[in-house]
Amino acid sequence: MTDRALIARIDHFVLTVASIDATCAFYGRVLGMETVTFAGGRKALAFGHQKINLHEVGREFEPKAQRPTSGSGDFCLISDTPLDAIIAHLHAQDVAIELGPVDRTGAMGPLRSVYFRDPDGNLVEVSNQTAVP
């Protein structure tokens, strides 16, 4: 074993959702993510060099989490768009801000964050890096 991390980056993670169509519409409208279709008609939300794979409750793909549940996600996304513009866009899209802007600590240093929920109740944090790593 090495003293370095064996993982370089996140490729994708999975959200279990009540409605894949509603989730794709929300993330496309609110965060500009692209809906992509891949193997077997599965759907994902693509952005940057990552994606969020979507599983519908009761129709999950194997293998899956031990107890997949809609609304149990809590994750942070980094944006280069100024947080004030993100907040204005969230307001324009009638997305309620749960918390923020607030200072947080991310994987690469200080963040300024805003929190809101998607249609399933997942907690979405969108942040600006406030110091150059």
Catalytic residue annotation: 125
The CB density around residue 101, as the number of other CB atoms within 10 Å, is: 18
Kindly tell me the burial class for residue 53, based on how many C-beta atoms sit within 10 Å of its own C-beta (0-12, 13-18, 19 or more).
middle
Are 90 and 32 in contact, with CB atoms under 8 Å apart? no
